[in-house]
A and B are shown apart, each in its own frame.
Chain A
């Protein structure tokens, strides 16, 4: 999945990175579990087709997401998120042209401090190839991680 996206990037001058976070409006752990796994599955198929990769971090308080890909595909993907009522108060942190991707495929990780939630979703990072070291390498992503933890604390 990652190879075609990477190969096209060298030809594609219009590579963009969009970063946002939003309040999580999904209620209850069961609904949360279903939603999160649904988003991961849908993201992998839909986004891969249009060359969008990225990372979704989530916890009980928020979704925080990095989208990377061709400008138009990122815009379309983001617009779909904006039309989704499960996301509330979306804060767009950045939408910028970049040279290379931070995430070459779809990754997803639980980034909460809650032990119980970590037990529920902890497997997801490994399953999706999420690599936190790549997050810390980018200032914006590190900020995003911090915001996610803050939202979780506010929601608790």
Chain B
């Protein structure tokens, strides 16, 4: 017998036939209950949803229990029946169907109870908050959980911590071994993160090699510090993936609510700033947010904006420092030094803006400007003196350096033999082979290559062997230390002899006093550059200096 036929027999429900047929056929599962909560009518969909062939006559508690609805979930509905008021509740039927039940008291007495199956909707929502590769929470999920945790923390006053994580050297794994190995590694990292955290913590992958952890219900900052330390240890341990031994590290930034922020966005931003600091201070470590980081980041951002504008407006300038041949005292050439005079900031130290320009990549544009300006200036000089221009390691990465130098030489008409490009060891540290290719390409154009700041850093002699530099520039720290420190003198002597025997000229940098000059002369350097023999000067003054003094041509100096 169809369900609605049984309802027809129910005496207390005065319904007319069309309504009843409509109720029986409607798409939404529906039950009608009497005032006491006993089922008077059920449509076919409700009977199917509740897996009950004959609900009519059953009391609501019995029906829900039969349908597998977990006990405490149904209670709000039963309570509302007793109080004759409307209610909504989410029920779990037979273990896995999730339904939303809505109870509405009827004016004629009794209740209508409708259900909506929200299983798929909830599953979809859960999937939308899950990151498919690792099964961790995604960014949306983290935001949801963080908002909920912050609301809870606001009520209870309990602190919570957000940890932002970035893998160190992950890109190298992806680039050298491919994405499948990279993905397998990310899954292992995710597993270690899960293992290192407690079950109540939320672990999320925000994308790429970025992860985040929400730690609630623990004493702060002790718990997050212990966790951060554990993560640096555990995530940094060697992995074995598809037969490869892999090593990555992790940098961690921590922000704690409420002290570091009460809102989700503030906390995430502050944890990110702390992460930035951890990465800047050597990676493989953790840092807590400090309010000063905000101010420093603001200052950095504003410098970055000004720096980009400076490139567009060509606010840079070059100063020229003379290089003197020790034997004759003649000017052999000048080193072009980058200067930035900002309209409001005044002169900005290259030590401040060049590292930033390298970090954000615009050193490539600035370097090209400097190269062109220096070559153009040198081409206009009355004497064919040499012009030295510094190259940043970043300029070697784009694969266009040789082309750029060739274009600049063509445009300015400068004799390539007069151009000396100075590189530091830093340029050779990464991808030595491809850098050597570029250096050989530059050499083929006819320009000279100098090794700058030699003696600091790694000072690997293998670089001198791998590429025949035209000149070694001895770092100024050794020259300055010569007077009081015999070791500095010995180092200068050793580099000068090394240069002589490899057929490379040697320039002592940072000479400030006559006794330093005598000392480097005695040690056998070929050239000198420093405040004593000439400070950096404007272009016009450099040109004037050349007009008034005899010049050793670069060829003579070699």
Contact = CB atoms under 8 A, between A and B. Distances in A.
Contacts of A74: 240
Contacts of B240: 18, 74-75, 78-79, 92, 95
Contact of B192 (A78, A83, A88, A90): A83
A74 B242 CA distance: 11
Contact of A83 (B234, B241, B243, B245): B234
A52 to B, nearest CB: 13
A82 B245 contact: no
A82 B239 contact: yes
Contacts of A82: 192, 234, 237-239
Contacts of B188: 79
Which of A16, A18, A85 has most B Cβ within 10 Å?
A85
B241 A92 contact: no
A13 B233 CA distance: 34
Nearest to B195: A83
A54 interface: no
A89 to B, nearest CB: 8
B234 A85 contact: yes
A90 B243 CA distance: 17
B304 interface: no
A61 interface: no
A85 B237 CA distance: 11
A51 interface: no
Interface size on A, as a range, is 10 to 19
Given A85-B230, A88-B233, A92-B245, A79 B191 contact: yes
A63 to B, nearest CB: 14
Contacts of A92: 238, 240, 245
B248 to A, nearest CB: 12
Contacts of B192: 82-83
Nearest to B241: A75
Contacts of B243: 16, 71, 95
B387 to A, nearest CB: 51
Nearest to B243: A71
Interface in A57-95: 71, 74-75, 78-79, 82-83, 85, 88, 90, 92, 95
B455 to A, nearest CB: 34
A135 B191 CA distance: 33
16 contacts: A16-B243, A18-B240, A71-B243, A75-B240, A75-B241, A78-B240, A79-B239, A82-B192, A82-B237, A82-B238, A82-B239, A88-B233, A92-B238, A92-B240, A92-B245, A95-B243
Interface of B: 188, 191-192, 195-196, 230, 233-234, 237-241, 243, 245
Q: Which 3 A-B pairs have the closest CB atoms?
A: A83-B195, A92-B238, A82-B237
Given A82-B192, A82-B234, 20 more contacts: A16-B243, A18-B240, A71-B243, A75-B240, A79-B239, A79-B240, A82-B237, A82-B238, A83-B191, A83-B192, A83-B195, A83-B196, A83-B234, A85-B234, A88-B233, A90-B237, A90-B238, A92-B240, A95-B243, A95-B245
